[in-house]
Amino acid sequence: MALTVIRSAERDLWRDAALTSRQSFPATGNFDLAAGAFGLLMVHNDDTVAPGEGFDMHSHDNVEIITWVVEGRLRHRDNGSPTATELGPGCAQHISAGSGVRHSEVNAAGYTSRETVRVVQSWLPTDQRDTPPFHASHDFTPALLDAPLVPVAGPSSPLPLGTAGAALWAGRPGADVEVPLPPARYLHVYVIRGRVSLAGVDLDEGDVARLVDHGPVTARALADTELLVWAMDRALRD
């Protein structure tokens, strides 16, 4: 088993007056995302957006985008829907950009609210290019109360992906709860908050563990914790 740990302070950081983006892979201004991918994961940004700010209408194509809301409320609007969607903590959104989609993602709280929104966004390559674009969302809050890890996106989950061999899991284990991790050739474990012991290493808020060709692995929460785990059976460069 190969284990690589990326500490929170080692993540790429991009900041302006409206956004702080902590990135597992250099994403801002990077036009060759596949070159730095781990497994099938090309982008993994932990973004905190100022009140009333966000990303105005912009375009994507031929990419699978999953957004996990950690804190605050995210307002999404795209050119395929007449109304906006608001997502809160424990919600995830999937955009299959296909042949092209225009959308906006902004902090639903107004400028005077002083309320930020924090999201973790992941991008993966799509298997079939130029398919009809679509988006879907789901609230996982009830499921997170019943299991240490729940399927979010991918096979047998509420948000199917257009990327075979990839699945996203989320968990909110309490202190001392053990979390069996899904088997996969590539495993990307991100600690949103709390603390975790994994393969003899302690991981804190913002830390990433990347495992390759691992056997059965169990993480143990050392405090009340929130996790996102990408399990992937192949890599872009395989």
CA distance 38 to 5: 13
Q: In the β-sheet with 117-125, what is the strand arrangement from edge to edge? A: 12-15, 19-23, 43-49, 117-125, 63-71, 91-96, 134-139
Q: Could you tell me whether strands 166-171 and 195-198 are parallel, antiparallel, or unpaired per DSSP bridges? A: unpaired
**Residue 49: how many CB atoms within 10 A of its CB?**
22
| 195, 203 contact by CB (below 8 A) | yes
| 116, 196 contact by CB (below 8 A) | no
The one-character DSSP state at 41 is: B
Residue-wise pLDDT tens for the chain (238 aa)? 799 999 999 999 999 989 999 999 888 777 788 888 999 999 999 999 999 888 777 788 999 999 999 999 998 887 766 678 899 999 999 999 999 888 788 898 888 888 999 999 999 999 999 999 988 999 999 999 999 999 999 998 999 999 999 999 999 999 999 999 999 999 999 999 999 999 999 999 999 999 999 888 999 999 999 999 999 999 987 7
Note the pTM of the prediction, 2 decimals: 0.94
Q: Which residues contact 238 (CB under 8 A, 6 or more apart)?
A: none
- Name the residue type at position 166: A
CA distance 175 to 220: 8
| 123, 63 contact by CB (below 8 A) | yes
Q: Tell me, what's the pLDDT at 169?
A: 98
Q: Which residues contact 195 (CB under 8 A, 6 or more apart)?
A: 202, 203, 204, 205, 221, 222, 223, 225
Closest to 22 in 3D by CA, of 121, 166, 113, 136: 121
Q: Tell me, what's the pLDDT at 80?
A: 66
Domains of the chain: 12-140 (2.60.120.10), 142-232 (2.60.120.10)
Q: H or E element: which one contains 160?
A: none
Cα angle 210-216-222, degrees, rounded to a multiple of 5: 65
Q: Tell me, what's the pLDDT at 82?
A: 66
Q: Tell me, what's the pLDDT at 101?
A: 86
Q: Which residues contact 150 (CB under 8 A, 6 or more apart)?
A: 140, 143, 144, 169, 170, 171
The one-character DSSP state at 82 is: S
